[in-house]
Amino acid sequence: MSPARRYEEVLGDVAEGRLKLNEPLGRYTVARLGGPADALITVDTVELLTKVVYLAWESNWRMRILGGGANVLISDLGYRGLIVINNAKAVTIQDDGRVIADSGAVLTHLARQTMSRGLSGFEWAISVPGTLGGAIVNNAGAHGGDMAACLVCAEIALPRRPPEDWPVARLNYGYRESALKRHPSPFAVLSGQLQLSPGHDPAELQRHADEFVAHRKRTQPPGASLGSMFKNPPGDYAGRLIEAAGLKGTRIGGVMISPVHANFFINTGGGTASDYLALIRLACATVFKRFGVELSLEVELIGEGFETEANQNPTTA
Ligand SMILES: Cc1cc2nc3c(=O)[nH]c(=O)nc-3n(C[C@H](O)[C@H](O)[C@H](O)COP(=O)(O)OP(=O)(O)OC[C@H]3O[C@@H](n4cnc5c(N)ncnc54)[C@H](O)[C@@H]3O)c2cc1C
């Protein structure tokens, strides 16, 4: 049976028109690029997400879940396997500050919802693109807050066993790192529980969040990008190093190192993943030559030709 036929066969009952074959991934990523996935299914409930991931594992397919596609650079050749687009976004908010949210909950919406209920502790997410699932994997954070500080536990599915709750300690969070990022075997984040601080004035929280949004507008460029391309090395800033290496405004193909903030690489239109990779390599090599600092990617490279150790650490490529 052809692989395409097999996706239709196995997912037919649950797909109900949601399955797409040979689907270009550009519209599912914030950088607006990426070649086709062999198959793609969009799920809008945790029940469906759970069903699909277990079916994929039982079928031995390669599978990757994407939330907002805000932290991934997908290769021009695309992804060999199944991409699951996670739109499961149900949220329950309790008066004591406990929040239970599906992993597809959009961070900015969740921040607004919790602030409007007088809960503090998630305002930092007001302008972070993506979903709770991606934020749990990456330990996303901004403005002094992060997932490590507000997550109680995450519901994680792994092949051949029922989903289990992982307390935050088990996620082993570091700076944009977790036990899930680069996990050696497949997993799915189904939902997360947050503990926020109740009893705050929603208007005050909103004012606070508005300041975060204004700060971002002042300091970060608009347009299609992946956010911060590199992690900040200890005691320094990746953007400062790339700027000091004279690379602000450098362009390869349709991708440019932002003249506003050098850690943002902008797809100016028609940019490709290969353009991105070439700029990433240039930035790494130049910064290493000038300052002896090895930059480490904050974004993840996914897809055919990208999933090698060398590409995750382009300074060594
Ligand atoms: C303009 C811009 C600004 C940004 N600013 C910030 C910032 O201030 N702070 C910050 O931390 N980040 C920032 N980012 C990066 C990004 O917003 C975060 O990393 C965010 O958490 C990504 O979420 P996502 O849903 O888009 O994840 P995706 O990019 O879709 O996925 C990221 C990784 O998580 C995995 N994944 C996603 N959901 C699941 C799931 N349910 N189960 C299993 N695996 C899953 C994916 O397979 C992939 O490996 C920014 C990005 C952009 C484009």
**Using one digit for the tens of pLDDT, what is the confidence trace for 105-136?**
999 999 999 999 999 999 999 999 999 999 99
Residues having CB closer than 6 A to ligand 1 are 30, 64-72, 86, 103, 128-131, 133-135, 137-138, 140-142, 187-189, 225-227, 300
- The full length of the chain comes to 317
List pLDDT tens digits, range 240-251: 999 999 999 999
Q: In the prediction, which pLDDT does 15 show? A: 83
What are the structural domain ranges in the chain? 3-86, 91-200, 221-312
Of 75, 155, 176, 191, the active-site residue reads 176
91-200 classified as CATH 3.30.360.10: no
Centre of ligand 1 from the C-alpha of residue 106, in Å: 10
Burial 10-31 (b: 16+ CB within 10 A, else e): bbeeebeebbbeebebbebbbb
Centre of ligand 1 from the C-alpha of residue 298, in Å: 10
CATH number of 221-312: 3.90.78.10
Q: What is the mean pLDDT of residues 212-237?
A: 94
Q: How far apart are CA 304 and CA 317, in angstroms?
A: 17
Task: Please list, in sequence order, all residues whose beta carbon lies within 8 angstroms of the beta carbon of residue 142, skipping any fewer than 6 positions away.
Answer: 124, 125, 127, 128, 212
pLDDT exceeds 80 at position 315: no
Which amino acid residue places its CA nearest to atom 28 of ligand 1? 69
Atom of ligand 1 minimally distant from the CA of 181? 49
Atom of ligand 1 minimally distant from the CA of 132? 25
Q: How far apart are CA 84 and CA 63, in angstroms?
A: 7
pLDDT exceeds 60 at position 167: yes
For a mutational test of ligand 1's pocket, the pick from 40, 71, 176, 183, i.e. the residue with the most ligand atoms closer than 8 A to its C-beta, is 71
pTM for the structure as a whole: 0.95
Of 23, 123, 243, 298, the active-site residue reads 298
For a mutational test of ligand 1's pocket, the pick from 41, 62, 138, i.e. the residue with the most ligand atoms closer than 8 A to its C-beta, is 138
Q: In the prediction, which pLDDT does 142 show? A: 96
Q: In the prediction, which pLDDT does 10 show? A: 93
Q: What is the mean pLDDT of residues 12-40?
A: 93
Active site (annotated) includes residue 176: yes
Q: What is the mean pLDDT of residues 143-152?
A: 97
Centre of ligand 1 from the C-alpha of residue 113, in Å: 20
Q: What are the DSSP E strand ranges found in the chain?
A: 19-24, 36-43, 63-66, 72-74, 79-86, 91-93, 98-102, 141-142, 145-146, 151-158, 161-167, 188-195, 251-252, 255-257, 265-267, 300-302
Reduced to 3 states (helix: H, G, I; strand: E, B; else coil), residue 143 is coil
Q: What is the mean pLDDT of residues 143-156?
A: 97
Task: Please list, in sequence order, all residues whose beta carbon lies within 8 angstroms of the beta carbon of residue 195, skipping any fewer than 6 positions away.
Answer: 97, 98, 99, 121, 150, 152
Q: In the prediction, which pLDDT does 309 show? A: 42
Q: In the prediction, which pLDDT does 310 show? A: 45
Q: In the prediction, which pLDDT does 308 show? A: 59
| 137 or 17, greater pLDDT | 137
CATH number of 3-86: 3.30.43.10
Q: How far apart are CA 188 and CA 181, in angstroms?
A: 11
Q: In the prediction, which pLDDT does 312 show? A: 54
Question: Mean pLDDT over all residues of the chain?
Answer: 94
Centre of ligand 1 from the C-alpha of residue 178, in Å: 13
List pLDDT tens digits, range 254-307: 999 999 999 999 999 999 999 999 999 999 999 999 999 999 999 999 999 987
